Structure 1
């Protein structure tokens, strides 16, 4: 399966706060909030949802096509992705704006405060994915991940108009999208990805029920943090997949991206939903155990051993055939 990943490209500026955000917030003073957190460190990493997912698919042996927008400072990042199997011919380079910046601080409870500067990402709306596909070939699936909202709408509409299967992943952009826009992004999707909170927000914003969403998408995939993953096919029984136990959680940034990459990689190699989600859960755990969204490495033998411990020998045997 040839997968195209449409999504943001950014530089991650990741910091850690040695305390709890919740202890610094005064409930009766929220309208006048003025806080400054002294962080312990600063790590600058390559990131962005599109970059993270494409990197992960490439690291698992795939050859994804990345579609997004970046600045002229993208050169080293492009080389990094190319070295990990990512086709970057779909990346538009802005002549006036820097690559987007993601600034995130994580406290001791893994709660996060984050800010995102779009920069060159705003030009992703200028990309015509069908013109990219004229050069690269038509993909079997297009993942429309968080990006410039207008770009997400345009990519989705082009997929529907040209009958190209697509997966909807509005996740991080749900906070700024209105209900009608969200409806348009998910209608006709083969897969709908959200986490548990985003799923509730999607229902609230659109006014849809879970049954109505099931009529619009083929499969809903909802990640629930430590409580695992729910897979709800519109024409089948729900599937629940627990997480792979974490040895040491270092940073939650990009964990969902890792899951999506592992899940789609598994499907592309013939795994059924449960097994694909188990592979996705393994990748998500590897990301959580790493301080960088793109610094993890999947050692097949070790990963399969952990999959066996989490899901049993049969699961490890099935996933071994494709890993």
Structure 2
């Protein structure tokens, strides 16, 4: 089974303001707001939902095919992904454009002011897994991206019978009921956190329980409480893994999805798939940035056993075979 990963590919520009935004915003002047914050640091990190998921899949021995559009400033990023084992055959460079960029300014109270420039991502609908030969034997991951691209991928997969994981998450606020219904209609897997499942259920006019049973497989992350996987109505409670430290939660959800898909691709038991996903998320939490962590498969298996006990099926990760 090949895994095609679609979603945003972006640079994250992280800034830290050594104070609190609220101390510099006048409540009676917000209608003419004009403020400037001198920051202490600026860090550029590799990110984007699609790229993050592909990166984590590669760490677990998969060869994911990343699908998306980038700018002419992508080459260094491309080299890093290829080095880890990501297939960049589905990444298209848009001439005279920049790779999507997220500018995050954080104050000492962890408040954030964010600006997102889509750049080349706005052309994501010009390439799709269908163009690259995705079949019924493959899996397509549809992660947050340009809305037109997400709609195209879901429609094409539904018509062709290609299984796909649907993860609207960050695009949910702008989706209406019909768009969400179309995205879920042909999905094999629906993913999101507990807040997002609540939002989806409200938009669709059904209960969360009905939503979890409306798609063959749903996976709902619950933060420190772990996750809930529902397969054809049967529920699997997944415990969380223990982080050695908490540096930055950014990218943890994408890492979870990478671990989930990697375990599912090996046809591991659902309890093992969920635990793999929880552990994969922890690695991201322990590092500042969604792609700053790395590990060997031996290290991953040893840490899995420390958290969850022995699992002979995990040897499938090293052999590349299904359990």
Contact 2:72 / 2:93 at 8 angstroms: preserved in 1?
Answer: yes
Q: Corresponding residue for 1:266?
A: 263
Deviation at 1:138, TM superposition (A): 6.7
Separation in 1, partners of 2:88, 2:275: 28
CA deviations 1:184-211 (Å, max 9, x no partner) are 1111211111011111111122223234
- Does 89-98 or 158-167 show the bigger shift? 89-98
Change (3 A) 1:5 1:26: farther
CA deviations 1:286-323 (Å, max 9, x no partner) are 11101121110123344333322321x234x4324425
Normalising to structure 1: TM-score of the pair? 0.88
Q: Corresponding residue for 1:303?
A: 300
Q: Corresponding residue for 2:55?
A: 55
Q: Corresponding residue for 2:310?
A: 314
- Of 121, 136, 150, the residue aligned with 2:148 is 150
Change (3 A) 1:250 1:34: farther
Give 5+ residue unaligned stretches, structure 2. Answer: 319-323
Written as runs of structure 1 = structure 2, the 5 A alignment for 1:123-138 is 123-133=123-133
Separation in 2, partners of 1:40, 1:227: 35
Normalising to structure 2: TM-score of the pair? 0.88
- Does 203-212 or 159-168 show the bigger shift? 203-212
Change (3 A) 1:298 1:208: same
Written as runs of structure 1 = structure 2, the 5 A alignment for 1:60-139 is 60-106=60-106, 112-133=112-133
Contact 1:247 / 1:289 at 8 angstroms: preserved in 2?
Answer: yes
Report SS of the residue matched to 1:147.
coil
CA deviations 1:170-227 (Å, max 9, x no partner) are 0111122112111111112111110111111111222232344245311111111112
Q: Corresponding residue for 2:251?
A: 254
Deviation at 1:248, TM superposition (A): 1.4
Deviation at 1:153, TM superposition (A): 0.3
Give 5+ residue unaligned stretches, structure 1. Answer: none
- Does 21-30 or 54-63 show the bigger shift? 21-30
Contact 1:166 / 1:191 at 8 angstroms: preserved in 2?
Answer: yes
